[in-house]
Amino acid sequence: MRFEVQAADGLARAGLLQLAHGPVETPAFMPVGTYGAVKALAPGDLQQLGAQIVLSNTYHLWLRPGLSVIRAHQGLHRFIGWGGPILTDSGGFQVFSLGPLRKVGEDGVRFRSPINGDAMLLTPEDSIRIQHVLDSDVAMVFDECTPYWIESRGQARPASEREAAASMQLSLRWARRCREEFDRLQGDRALSGIVLGGLFESLRDVSAQGLRAIGFDGYAIGGLSVGEPKAQMRAIMQYAATRLPAQAPRYLMGVGTPEDLLAAIAAGLDLFDCVLPTRNARNGWLFTRHGDLKIRNARYRDDTAPLDPDCRCATCRQFSRAYLHHLQRINEMLGARLNTIHNLHYYLDLMRRARRSIQDGTFDQMARSELASRAASGEAP
């Protein structure tokens, strides 16, 4: 991995990230292909949309199709037919999502396979070995995603500082083990650490300092968008961003809306992923520069206008709101595909416009204009 900041506007930065399978111009959004596929789209679609890098998940690919299948293809790139860079999440968040079905210990996480019920153990070393087989351009360390809500006596409460600290310290110990296993395998790809600590600034400090002492190629902010209030999420994101090395790429994990991404870029973050554009597309929730549309609503039944007259994606150039409404109403898979093409185009184009505005020194004006337009015209969630 090589990373160069090419322009800055305030804290916002435009960079160039050189990876084994090609360059990535930042800020960049990574479409999520959890199982090795971005739902409803083929690799050629992603290329036409201008996607530079995609995200896949270690945990899910380990369970299905399994490492023997991917090893036979000499890695994930050939298996899924994507020639560009791939970042693989470590599986920590997916194990976190299992809730009471998993047991976290010093060695790793024990759980029952949701596929066949087999007893499973995922350790930091396992996560790195799996990602080595996947041959991803960027691997992530295995972490315990600190929850915001803790179940206690039948009620949910926010995690205490003591609980968040214990989780963060465990993840730091796991991060060192990941670094050692990565080095033992002599991988020629990149390994990224994950800053944790819940909503506590002092814990984010300890986590960032510990990761920098170990040494990683890139650094991520994790453990956000897990149920915490939006204002607190934004505040800790902005704080944690200042604790990441300036010379390394900075990745915000699993966040979020267009508004979240603009706030993150303004805070100096470079890489992003989220399931919102693809998941919401399948549910008929469409993002535009003029606000969001719920295409299933009856108001679009006779609407002959394009989804967004200012959008140049294939969906907006060829189809009307009425047609997209019709496809959504009859649950036609083409609707999910056309909606996904549009939503990902919007997210990727937002990154391109943000990059140009940083280079021009006009990022703040661009972001304020985008936010104002979306707020004035969109439908309420």
Neighbours of 362 (CB within 10 A): 13
d(CA 353, CA 349): 6
183 is known as an active-site residue: no
3-state secondary structure of 308: coil
Residues 6 or more apart whose Cβ sits within 8 Å of residue 361: 9
- The active-site residue, picked from 9, 89, 126, 260, is 89
Q: Are strands 28-30 and 218-221 parallel, antiparallel or unpaired?
A: unpaired
As a dihedral over the C-alpha atoms of residue 126, residue 113, residue 224, residue 212, rounded to 10 degrees, the angle is: -10
Residue closest to 175 by CA, chosen among 135, 217, 137, 226 = 217
* Joined tokens for residue 60: 């899910």
- The active-site residue, picked from 143, 270, 273, 292, is 273
d(CA 48, CA 64): 28
d(CA 87, CA 340): 21
Helix residue ranges, H only, 64-188: 67-72, 76-80, 92-97, 124-134, 161-184
d(CA 110, CA 91): 13
In 3-state terms the chain splits into helix, strand, coil percentages (rounded to 5) of 45, 20, 35
89 is known as an active-site residue: yes
Quote the DSSP letter at residue 50: T
d(CA 90, CA 125): 11
Q: Which residues are designated catalytic?
A: 89, 273
